[in-house]
Amino acid sequence: RNGDGRAVLRSSVREFLCSEAMHYLGIPTSRAASLVVSDDDVWRDQFYNGNIKKERGAIVLRLAKSWFRIGSLEILAHSGELDLQRRLLDFIIQEHFPSIAMNDSNRYLEFFSTVISETANLIALWMSVGFAHGVCNTDNFSLLSITIDYGPFGFMDSYDPNFVPNTSDDERRYKIGNQANVGLFNLSKLLQALNPLLDPRQKQLASQVLEGYGERYYIRFTELFKTKLGLTGENEDDNYLIAFLLKVSLLC
C-alpha cells in the first residue's frame, strides 16, 4: 500500500489516551506504556483530501497479554501450513485459555466457542460506551478479545448507528451500527481457518455455536443497557424500552 509504517504525534496521543480510558471503563484493551516523540518529519494527508502536511512522528509502546489475531490463524490456513497452525493454536490455548485441557480432543471447538462469547462481550462493551473501532478486519480482531490496533477510532457525540470515524471508509462497512455484524463475519473467517483441524462432527457443532453468536451479543448488549438504566430483574418490556430510547435518541 506504499505506506512508510510511521505514526504521527496526534494519532499516537489519541491512542495513548483512548487505550487508558478504555481500560478504566472496564473494557478489555491493550495499554500504552510510553509515548516517544520522534525528530523525524512525517508527511500525511489527514483527511484524504489531497492536503498533505508535515507532522511530527511518534512511537507508542503498546502492552497486551497477546497480539495473536484471527488473521494469525487465517494466513497459515490459507498457505496450507496446517502443522504450524496446529502448533500455534495449541500454544495459544495453553498460554491463554487455561480452562481448556490440552488433552481434550474437542479443545479447538472449546476455543472457538470461548472466542465467540468473548467477542460478543467485547463488541457489546464497545457499543455501551459509543466506541467505533474504525477498522474491524480480521487482522485487528484479537483472539483474546481485547481492543487492539487503535487507528481511526471514534466515540459518538450523540446516538447515530451510521457513525463512521474512519474518513477512508467510503462504504461505511465499519460504521458503529454494523460492528456486531462485522464481528460475526470475522468469526466465520476464524471458523473457516479452523475447519482443516476439525472432524466432520466438530465442524457441524462449530457451525451451530457460530449461529448462537447473535443471541449472545444481544443478551450482553441488553444487560449493559439495563445496568445503565438502573433496571433490575427481568421484565418483558425491558427490550422494548431500550429500543424505544435509542430511537428517541436518534431523533434528538
* Span 82-107, pLDDT tens digits: 999 999 999 999 999 999 999 999 99
Q: Which domain holds residue 59?
A: 7-63
Task: Count Cβ atoms below 10 Å from residue 24 Cβ, excluding itself.
Answer: 8
| pTM for the model | 0.94
* 57 and 80 inside one domain: no
Sign of CA dihedral 45, 139, 17, 158: positive
What is the pLDDT, as a whole number, of residue 44? 85
* 116 and 89 inside one domain: yes
Q: How far is Cα 33 from Cα 108, in angstroms, rounded to an integer?
A: 33
DSSP lists the bridge partners of residue 31 as: 63
Q: What value does the mean pLDDT take over residues 21-27? A: 98
* 108 and 40 inside one domain: no
Picking from 65, 60, 181, the residue whose alpha carbon sits closest to that of residue 127 is 181
Report how many domains make up the chain: 2
* 95 and 149 inside one domain: yes
Indicate the pLDDT class of residue 60, thresholds 50, 70 and 90: very high
| Sequence-separated contacts (24+) of 75-84 with Cβ below 8 Å | 76/193, 77/192, 77/193, 77/194, 77/195, 77/196, 78/193, 82/196, 82/197
SS (H, E, C) 49-68: CCCCEEEEEEEEEEECCCCC
**Residue 1: pLDDT above 60?**
no
Is 196 part of any domain? yes
**Residue 79: pLDDT above 80?**
yes
Mean pLDDT over all residues of the chain? 95
Q: Is 139 an annotated catalytic residue? A: yes
Write down the H helix ranges in 129-178. Answer: none
* Span 222-240, pLDDT tens digits: 999 999 999 988 888 999 9
* Span 177-216, pLDDT tens digits: 999 999 999 999 999 999 999 999 999 999 999 999 999 9
Q: What value does the mean pLDDT take over residues 5-33? A: 96
**Residue 127: pLDDT above 80?**
yes
% helix / strand / coil in the chain, to the nearest 5?
Answer: 50, 15, 35
SS3 167: coil
* 76 and 59 inside one domain: no
Is 238 part of any domain? no
What is the pLDDT, as a whole number, of residue 153? 97
Q: How far is Cα 23 from Cα 125, in angstroms, rounded to an integer?
A: 12
Contact 111, 119 (CB under 8 A): no
* 142 and 206 inside one domain: yes
Say which of 4, 39, 139, 157 is annotated catalytic.
139
Q: How far is Cα 62 from Cα 16, in angstroms, rounded to an integer?
A: 9
